[in-house]
Chains A and B, each alone.
Chain A
Amino acid sequence: MEKKVKLLVVGGGPAGLAAAVAAKEAGITEGDILIMERDEELGGILNQCIHNGFGLHTFKEELTGPEYAARYARKVRDAKIPYLLHTIVADIRAEGETKYVTAMNKQEGMFTVEARAVVLAMGCRERPRGALNIPGYRPAGIYSAGTAQRYVNMEGRMPGKEVVILGSGDIGLIMARRMTLEGAKVKLVAELMPYSGGLKRNIVQCLDDFGIPLKLSHTVVDIDGKERVKGVTVAAVDENRKPIAGTEEYISCDTLLLSCGLIPENELSAGLGVELNPVTSGPVVNESLETNVEGVFACGNVLHVHDLVDYVSEEAENAGRNAAAYIMRSMCRQQGKTGENGEKGKNGIIEIKIKIGERVRYTVPSTLRLNYMQEEQVVRFRVGEVCQDAVLAVYFNDTPVMRIKKRVMAPGEMEQVKFKKAKLEDYPDLKEIRIAVEQEENG
């Protein structure tokens, strides 16, 4: 199968689906779009997230993960956008404006599709045990929280009866409740950090509702059992996250779930030469969510790990629209016409850098090109520590322009600032925007 499309979307989860639909709405014919998905159905990770809480922003109602996924899958089918299931992308390479996407499936074997633009929407993976340096044998009964979620929610199998969960990420919290509902005894959730990495609402409705204890600043220092997990040793950690001698406590259990962070899955991006941000492990992008490789866009959890799927959809729609605009400009150039937006050279482009200030770990995007900005630009970021009574401060060229009071900001929750294009255009000689989280001044 040698095929040519205008837009290829890698991944059929919430990001990929929303990007494809938005690209069609922005004028790309459905036959010129192709989605590749490695799983047996569209929807990605949402299919195993059977809990409620999805879609309040997007659909103004509270849906479960599979329902949210089904809405977008229907949009793709209604738009008649072609997609390939059971198809894994092995390599992407760019030669100027043309991208070559090499993929595999049972029917075609290995094949290459030529595309003008690519949207990266591969999502993320869970941090595995190997990355956590927990001593002990490798007995059965150790699962990432997401693996356990798939077993319970999609395959109808229970991983164990007595459970300890390491890490308080959202999937870990959700699985604490899920396993409890299915009759397991969840003895403890241990979190290395002094705060939970999950949403506050999940602490309330998944742990507090069921009396499941959460120990902050604690970790698993040993796993007991050779064939099957028999128990774990949990210890308190100091401010340097080192176990404190004498605080060890043995907890018998047959299952250990790991919910210790998510990592964007960017092997394909790296192979393509996309610049990655070491903080997010996702691509560095501009206002159009375009990477340093022209015509390659990124959205969803492959770009940075989100807390709400609603924001993934919103971001992905932007990526899809921007990819469509890129394709149209690229076609204009090919036909010898000058595109809009001063496409004559890079001279006309005004680029503003977004710098991270105190307590801000990263921003997405990290640059804004005024010429390509929409009327309103959302900049998303996360803080590096829990901040009480904080002020979100924005500086233009070191001059304070915005101060918003925030009662609490936490690393587990994504924050955002919106910028109006007109405001940036009006500011004289704007080169740099800095976003910081500061302590509230007294008085």
Chain B
Amino acid sequence: MEKNRETEPENGAGTAAEGKKKELVCIRCPIGCRITVEDIPGGKLRITGNTCNRGAEYAEKELTNPTRIVTSTVRVRGGKAAVVSVKTKEDIPKGKIMECMEAIKGVELEAPVRIGDVALADVAGTGVDMVVTKDVEASVSA
């Protein structure tokens, strides 16, 4: 089942000293593959343990530029619900998570809102939009 990015090195004496090894748990989907990343000669990474290409991509990114999708809520005015759920449309640098939360703190949307509506463009200078993930109708009494 496991798709390896590099073929296993041949057995036998004389193989290069073991490179730096890092064990990761892939977070790209709930399966949570255990991925091993090793430095191999030539400045390349050997990635094993992943069961799909997203895993290899995750491992490489996690070591070079870790990113996350951020999900939260923002206030809604005049809606059937007080808040609506939002997410970053794509993953943003891990170090920007709290900045992103700070940026959406004051955001208030006017009901109705629809899945995909932009709640805040270019959140925390990431170039990524925060978008709505649930429909909220306007409240009848408003």
Report the bound CA distance from A51 to B134 in whole Å.
12
**Which listed residue (A63, A154, A199, A408) contacts B30, Cβ 8 A?**
A199
Which B residues lie within 8 Å of A336 (CB)? none
Interface size class of A (residues with CB under 8 A): 20 to 34
- Across the interface, do B34 and A407 meet the contact criterion of CB distance under 8 Å? yes
State whether A62 and B85 are in contact (beta carbons under 8 Å apart), knowing that A200-B32, A308-B30, A407-B34 are contacts in the complex.
Answer: no
Which residues 52-83 in B have Cβ within 8 Å of A in the complex?
Answer: 68-73, 75, 81-83
**B29 on the A face (CB < 8 A):** yes
Q: How far is the CB of B138 from chain A (nearest CB, A)?
A: 15
Across the interface, do B133 and A66 meet the contact criterion of CB distance under 8 Å? yes
* In the complex, residue of chain A having the shortest beta-carbon distance to the beta carbon of B1: A404
Cβ contacts under 8 Å, A199 to chain B: 30, 32
User: With A and B bound together, what is the CA distance between A66 and B72 in angstroms?
Assistant: 12
A90 within 8 A of B: no
A67-B27 contact, Cβ under 8 Å, with A52-B71, A153-B85, A154-B83: no
B68: which A residues are within 8 A, CB to CB?
205, 209
Chain B CB within 8 A of A332 CB: no
- Let me know if A64 is at the binding interface, CB within 8 A: yes
Contacts of A66 in B (CB 8 A): 85, 115, 133-134
Report chain A residues within 8 Å CB of B134: 47, 50, 66-67, 70
Q: Out of A50, A70, A154, A408, name the residue touching B72 (CB < 8 Å).
A: A50
Q: Which residues 47-64 of A have a CB within 8 angstroms of B?
A: 47, 50-53, 56, 62-64
A204 touches B87 (CB 8 A): no
Question: B111 in the interface, Cβ–Cβ < 8 Å?
Answer: no
Beyond A50-B72, A52-B71, 16 additional pairs, beta carbon < 8 A: A50-B133, A50-B134, A51-B71, A62-B28, A62-B29, A64-B71, A64-B133, A66-B85, A66-B133, A156-B83, A181-B70, A199-B30, A201-B32, A204-B25, A209-B94, A308-B30
Which residues of B line the A interface, CB within 8 A? 24-30, 32, 34, 49, 68-73, 75, 81-83, 85, 87, 94, 97-98, 101, 115, 133-135
22 pairs of residues in contact across A and B, judged by CB atoms under 8 Å: A47-B134, A50-B71, A52-B69, A53-B30, A64-B87, A66-B85, A67-B133, A70-B115, A70-B135, A156-B73, A181-B70, A182-B101, A199-B32, A200-B25, A200-B32, A200-B34, A201-B27, A204-B25, A209-B94, A209-B97, A408-B34, A413-B32
Interface residues of A (CB under 8 A from B): 47, 50-53, 56, 62-64, 66-67, 70, 152-156, 181-182, 199-201, 203-205, 209, 307-308, 407-408, 413
